[in-house]
Amino acid sequence: MLKSLRYLKPYRWGVALVFTLVGLRAFLDLLLPNLLGKIVSEGLGLGSVVSEPNLNRIYYYAALMLIATLVSIGITIFGGYLESKISAGYAKDLRRAVYEKIEKFSLREMDHFTTSSLITRTTNDIQQLQGIVHMLLRMIILAPLLAIGAVTFSIIQQPTLSMVLIASITALIAMLVIVFSITMPKFQLVQKMVDRLNLVTRENLTGLRVVRAYNTQQYQANRIDEASKESMRLNIFVNRVSSIMWPFMGLIMGLTSLIIVYVGARYFVGINGFSPASLMALMQYAMRAIMAFMFMSFIFVSIPRAAISARRIMEVLEMDVEIHDPKDPVALPEHIHGEITFKDVCFQYPGAQEPVLSKVSFTVKPGTTTAFIGSTGSGKSTLINLIPRFYERTCGEILIDGIDIKDLCLEDLHRIIGYVPQKGILFGGTIEDNILFDERAEKDMLEEAAKVAQAHDFILEMEDGYHHQIAQGGTNVSGGQRQRLSIARAIAKKPPIYIFDDSFSALDYKTDQKLRKMLSEHVTATKLIVAQRINTIRYADQIIVLNQGTIEGMGTHDELMKSSKVYQEIASSQLSKEELL
């Protein structure tokens, strides 16, 4: 947890001011029992020597108590404002750090944590830390100062009678140790159950249409109910154990007060100057000491859960990122031709027994179209995901215009690539915002990119045209429209290299033909296309056939129809006899 607190460094002067105010508040709080004792001894005349009441002394000490209370209230209000501001700023900085780290993750790191767990860590876990930081700013100094000060002043009042308070505090500490040892392992399980609940809920909501289509609503409800019940059971157990503390502490506080009053009044008042005023002050200090330990117990119970949240957050922040910028990056040339070369490239997922790609070598000439086809699991998508370094190759070289992509900054590498994933991903905002998503995309490319992507016509049919609002995830447009808008987004960027990862799968044959024709006429950059349909890639300059991670054939459509058995099988399953001739 201490590692996560380094994000408080920008607020160190604010923290120092809060601690100063808290220390002053503790001093004023410890001053009140002494002033109350003065009122009893000097004002009411019940000191070691009984005398007549003195109203002036009562008013004087009462005024001091009022001033100390008002100042303490003012310090509490101002300190509370600072505590809230610091803890909120700390959470904001921590959340930004986590988000920036996640942005650097490759697909391997994303698979390691899972999306649902990362959502929990950036929301629930950081909220836990924000709460504990706010509590620590207020209590980490106040509670120990009150406890130490109250015990010290109690001993000064009457050392022997103060042993009752020491015994009560020892009992409190023993109870804290027991509760801590029981609840600590459960807190980690609670956070894991939150992860699981998020995962099940996310799966259910994402696949809601499939759930309804297969009438498995009850099964999914049972899954969520099971995860919820387990989370509820753990939370109830933890809360029950924790709740035992409060009545136990109340009992200790009551017994301590009773014993101090009874024993003090019967055996100590009148001995060695110990007066009723001293007894009253001792009782006040005893109550403050026990209250301070109650606050500390609340901190000690909260810290284990926050420590687990901190550990989960630091796992993200300290995760070794597989893909990072080189120490001495090569400057990106002013003009990129778009030649791509694979030299004996291999890739194997961590923990996998077999490589996905083995010794893959080919060259893509600038301005040409190269297509990749093969059976499911042949490594097509994995291969092209190596180019923008979404995955890191295991061996071999990948060159762009003779420069190894590992020698380029990731920002420079992504700047020259227009990537269109298989599943069209849109963001909340207008259609214009989504097409001009890249910061370097020019506004005059808006309509041109939409026309090339065959999106212009359906955009104009919408009520607000290019200002039509897209729902989160693009749920208010069809799958084919999402794909075309994703393609338009890449075209508006005007990169020298385009990667289409099966990006035409949701398009009908007619739209597919028009789009490919517009791409060939208006986009002269290097294009890499992963496809399942022969018609999508039939006229590509180069077609690479993958089979179980190796290149089975390479050439044009006509050449592969003569030389590649795998390509022939795919073609015969999709094309008619007339088209095969």
- The answer on 344 and 300 residing in a single domain is no
- Per-residue pLDDT at 44: 74
16 CB contacts (<8 Å, ≥6 apart)?
Answer: none
- The answer on 350 and 307 residing in a single domain is no
- Per-residue pLDDT at 404: 92
Report the C-alpha gap between 517 and 535 in whole angstroms. Answer: 12
Distance of CA 350 to the CA centre of its chain: 24
Domain boundary among 285, 317, 349: 317
- The answer on 348 and 267 residing in a single domain is no
Half-sphere exposure of 220 (CA within 13 A, CB side): 19
pLDDT tier at 339, thresholds 50, 70, 90 = very high
Residue-range definition of the domain harbouring residue 91? 4-317
For residue 523, is it within any domain? yes
- The answer on 349 and 312 residing in a single domain is no
For residue 131, what is the domain's CATH number? 1.20.1560.10
- The answer on 297 and 170 residing in a single domain is yes
Using DSSP bridges, classify how beta strands 469-470 and 429-430 pair: parallel, antiparallel or unpaired.
Answer: antiparallel
- The answer on 414 and 311 residing in a single domain is no
- 3-state secondary structure labels for all residues of 232-265: HHHHHHHHHHHHCHHHHHHHHHHHHHHHHHHHHH
Per the CB < 8 A criterion, the answer to whether 171 and 250 are in contact is no
- The answer on 96 and 57 residing in a single domain is yes
For residue 326, is it within any domain? no
For residue 449, is it within any domain? yes
Per the CB < 8 A criterion, the answer to whether 289 and 151 are in contact is yes
Distance of CA 483 to the CA centre of its chain: 29
Q: What is the pLDDT of residues 425-450, one digit of tens each?
A: 888 889 899 889 888 888 888 889 99
pLDDT at 73 over 90: yes
Report the C-alpha gap between 545 and 566 in whole angstroms. Answer: 8
pLDDT tier at 355, thresholds 50, 70, 90 = confident
Per the CB < 8 A criterion, the answer to whether 55 and 43 are in contact is yes
Q: What is the pLDDT of residues 58-68, one digit of tens each?
A: 888 889 989 99
- The answer on 310 and 205 residing in a single domain is yes
Of 465, 470, 424, residue with least CA distance to 446: 465
Report the C-alpha gap between 471 and 485 in whole angstroms. Answer: 13
Of 61, 38, 42, 59, residue with least CA distance to 51: 42
For residue 510, what is the domain's CATH number? 3.40.50.300
Domain boundary among 258, 284, 317: 317
- 3-state secondary structure labels for all residues of 363-405: EECCCCEEEEEECCCCCHHHHHHCCCCCCCCCEEEEEECCEEH
For residue 392, is it within any domain? yes
Token pair listed for 347: 């890739």
Per the CB < 8 A criterion, the answer to whether 453 and 487 are in contact is yes
Q: What is the pLDDT of residues 509-541, one digit of tens each?
A: 888 888 888 888 888 899 999 988 888 888 889
Q: ∠ CA 423-387-490 to the nearest 5 degrees? A: 45
For residue 328, is it within any domain? no
Residues above pLDDT 90, as percent of the chain: 18
**Lowest mean per-residue pLDDT among 290-299, 407-416, 445-454, 468-477:** 290-299
Q: What is the pLDDT of residues 538-547, one digit of tens each?
A: 888 999 999 8
Using DSSP bridges, classify how beta strands 526-530 and 497-501 pair: parallel, antiparallel or unpaired.
Answer: parallel
Q: What is the pLDDT of residues 151-176, one digit of tens each?
A: 888 888 778 888 888 888 888 888 77
188 CB contacts (<8 Å, ≥6 apart)?
Answer: 308
Using DSSP bridges, classify how beta strands 395-400 and 357-364 pair: parallel, antiparallel or unpaired.
Answer: unpaired
pLDDT at 499 over 90: yes
Q: What is the pLDDT of residues 166-208, one digit of tens each?
A: 888 888 888 777 777 777 777 667 767 776 777 777 777 777 7
Domain boundary among 253, 286, 317: 317
Give 42-66 as a DSSP string: IIS-BSSSB----HHHHHHHHHHHH
Report the C-alpha gap between 385 and 417 in whole angstroms. Answer: 11
**Residue linked to tokens 């310090």:** 75
Per the CB < 8 A criterion, the answer to whether 357 and 345 are in contact is yes
For residue 327, is it within any domain? no
Report the C-alpha gap between 57 and 35 in whole angstroms. Answer: 11
Q: Which string of b and e fits 251-266 if b means at least 16 CB within 10 Å?
A: ebbeebbebbeeebee
- The answer on 361 and 236 residing in a single domain is no
- The answer on 492 and 355 residing in a single domain is yes
- The answer on 351 and 306 residing in a single domain is no
For residue 446, is it within any domain? yes
For residue 322, is it within any domain? no
- The answer on 105 and 217 residing in a single domain is yes
Token pair listed for 475: 């749920």
Q: What is the pLDDT of residues 264-313, one digit of tens each?
A: 777 777 676 667 777 777 888 888 888 887 777 777 767 777 877 888 88
Report the C-alpha gap between 242 and 376 in whole angstroms. Answer: 54
Q: What is the pLDDT of residues 547-573, one digit of tens each?
A: 888 999 999 988 888 888 888 888 888
- Per-residue pLDDT at 526: 93
Number of domains in the chain: 2
| Predicted TM-score of the model (pTM) | 0.71
Task: Compute the residue count for the chain.
Answer: 581
What average pLDDT score do residues 373-385 get? 87
